[in-house]
Amino acid sequence: MMITSPYNTIGPFFPAEFVEGYDDLTQVEGRRAKGQVIELSGRVLEEGGQATKNTILEIWQADSSGIFRHPLDPRGAHADPGFAGWGRAKTDAEGRYRFTTVLPGAYDGRCPHANIMILAIGLTRRLVTTVFFSDAPEQASDPVLDCVADLQARRRLFAVREPAGAYRFDIVLRGENETPFFLD
């Protein structure tokens, strides 16, 4: 007989210990990440603009040189040893989340981006989206971005630059202004 605990499941609730302490991707074993440190934050909203509380977001991205810290990246051995490449955060009562990370580097014809997976109570499946970083979204070229034909929806995949090295990326789960989601 297998005994399960709240730490082996992702619902109907998410324990804080499962999440806290993974929102800073810029430090690994006392080393600091190279590149421009940024804050990526926003809100996760349901249809009608209602905030989602205790939604889990996982982020994975390349380092500032465009290298993933993963054995499947052929350049993985050269990844920044001070950059985690993966993080996890949860939303607060107002649906807000925050990651400290680096501005990802471009690689192989890709626009700088981070991938985000969303797990929330009430979702029948996990959702995956991509946030792109570009000061000229209308000129950005990326094979994933090119899958989104609707220009308004396409613009919703870009983080908005804010003062002091911050970027905002709101995620709308369904309804008007829904964030485009992808199969992974």
pLDDT for res 20 = 75
Question: Any idea which residue has 């220009």 for tokens?
Answer: 151
pLDDT for res 2 = 38
Q: Which residues pair with 130 in a beta bridge?
A: 115
pLDDT for res 21 = 79
pLDDT for res 29 = 93
In order along its 184 residues, the chain shows pLDDT tens digits of 333 333 444 444 555 566 677 999 999 999 999 999 999 999 999 988 999 998 999 999 999 999 999 989 999 999 999 999 999 999 999 999 999 999 999 999 999 999 999 998 777 788 999 999 999 999 999 999 999 999 999 999 999 999 988 999 999 998 889 999 998 6
Domains of the chain: 6-172 (2.60.130.10)
Contact yes or no for 49/178 (Cβ under 8 A): no
Contact yes or no for 99/23 (Cβ under 8 A): yes
Question: CA 29, CA 26: separation in Å to the nearest integer?
Answer: 10
pTM for this model (two decimals): 0.88
